[in-house]
Every structure is written in C-alpha cells, then in structure tokens.
Amino acid sequence: MHRATSMFRNREEAGRELASRLDAYAHSPATLVLGLPRGGVPVAYELAEALDVEMDIFLVRKLGVPWEPELAMGAVASGDVRVINPEVVQSLGIPEEEIEAVARREREVLLERERLFRGDSPPAKIEGRNVILVDDGLATGSSMRAAITALRLQLPAKIVAAVPVGAPQTCERLRQEVDEMICAVMPDSFFAVGQWYVDFSPVTDDEVRDLLQRFRQRNARQTL
C-alpha cells in the first residue's frame, strides 16, 4: 500500500519506513545496502541499521557530451566501472579520444570524493550479494539508472532499488531494470522530492563521512 499524501519528517524516518518493506533481507551477510551520496546516505544508514546489514556508498559521475555537458554519453562509478551509451556516442559521432578525456576527468573527481568519504577503508564487496541501492527520492531517475547500469557490471546476485518517494512513471520505468523496486510513496501530484519531506536540508560531505565512520565503528564493535 502506498501513502499518497503523507510526508516524511526527515531522511532518517524515510530509511526506517523502507526497512519495514525489506524485512526479507535482514540479518544476512549476503545483503549490502549502498547509499547514493549525498542525500541517499542518511536513508541508507537508517535502513542498514534497522536490517542489521552492511552499508557502503556507491558513487556515480555522469559523462557529459563535451559540447553539451547536460547530455549524458555514459557514466563512471565506484569500482572503476565505466559505462558508455553507444547510441549517443554513435549518433553524435563522438571521437574515442574525447570520451577518454571526459572519462579521465570524471574518474579523478570520483576517486577524490571516494577518498574524502572513505579515507583508507576499502569498498564493500559487491559480487554475489543482494544489493539494495538507496536514494532519498526519484524525480527523473537519471542517477539511479546510471548506478544500476554500473552496479550490474560488478555481478551482484540481485539489485533492489529502494527510495522513500518517487514519481510514479519513473518508478515504473526503473522497475523493468532491477530485480525488485521499492517506492514507498508514489504521489500522483509529484513535482520534486523535497516536497515530501518536512526537513529536506542539504546533506554535507562531513555528514556522509561521519555516517560511514559511525557504521564502520559499529561493525568493529560487533566483531570484537
């Protein structure tokens, strides 16, 4: 059942709401929750805490067409993954050297942000696991779609996309691209993700880093 008009107090409450719909993945070392920075990370943290499973981040950087940066010709993602959209590249005749130049630049930004968020901690293992990919909402779904495409190249056993709120048409389109799609709220009158939160304050880099550090410390205590 979908809540049609209710708002979430904040991203933390939204994460707990998602957890109530993902009980089947709880308490399993095969489950990995991945948050899309920045807004998806507080949601992912609460979800992983409630399910008692591992959590990490998954970074994606769009590869914009050199002369039209808003148009994506592909993406780079965590795990040194590169995805290219052959239809865009071929239709626009984009030379390989220009693709390489954009990809190299975006990969450097991605690696810098991974170092900022993770420090020296290695990324979580993805292959063979049930991955729950989390954001704080879906409007166009472009970031989530790029993440799904990149994530699939790392051979997870299953991909679950989970968001507290999303545009109905976006959620339905993405449902065809994953093993399971959880959109807790799909309002007919959707204009922006933020309208469905009482508190939709921007998430800072420091907050993302702090949540990841808190999760690592929790895991370290549990293994003692």
Q: What is the pLDDT of residue 204?
A: 96
Burial of 97 from C-beta contacts in 10 A (0-12 / 13-18 / 19+): exposed
* pLDDT class of 110 with cuts at 50, 70, 90: very high
Q: Where are the domains of the chain?
A: 11-59+123-223, 61-118
Q: What is the pLDDT of residue 120?
A: 86
Structure tokens at 119: 């420090």
- CATH dotted code for 11-59+123-223: 3.40.50.2020
Angstrom CA distances, 118 to 43, 98, 105, 210, stand at: 18, 30, 20, 10
The mean per-residue pLDDT over the stretch 52-74 comes to 92
CATH architecture of 61-118: 2-Layer Sandwich (3.30)
Other Cβ atoms less than 10 A from the Cβ of 16: the count is 15
Please state the φ and ψ torsions of residue 75, each to the nearest 5 degrees. Answer: -160, 155
pLDDT greater than 70 at residue 65: yes
Name the least confident of 80-84, 181-185, 220-224: 220-224
Residue range 192-215, pLDDT digits in tens: 999 999 999 999 999 999 999 999
Q: How far apart are CA 152 and CA 43, in angstroms?
A: 22
- pTM of this structure: 0.89
Q: What is the pLDDT of residue 217?
A: 85
* pLDDT class of 1 with cuts at 50, 70, 90: very low
Lateral strand order in the sheet of 180-185:
54-57, 31-35, 130-134, 158-165, 180-185
Most confident of 6-10, 21-25, 118-122: 21-25
* pLDDT class of 221 with cuts at 50, 70, 90: low
The mean per-residue pLDDT over the stretch 95-101 comes to 95
Q: What is the pLDDT of residue 142?
A: 83
Question: What's at 135, amino acid-wise?
Answer: D
Q: What is the pLDDT of residue 219?
A: 74
Half-sphere exposure of 101 (CA within 13 A, CB side): 8
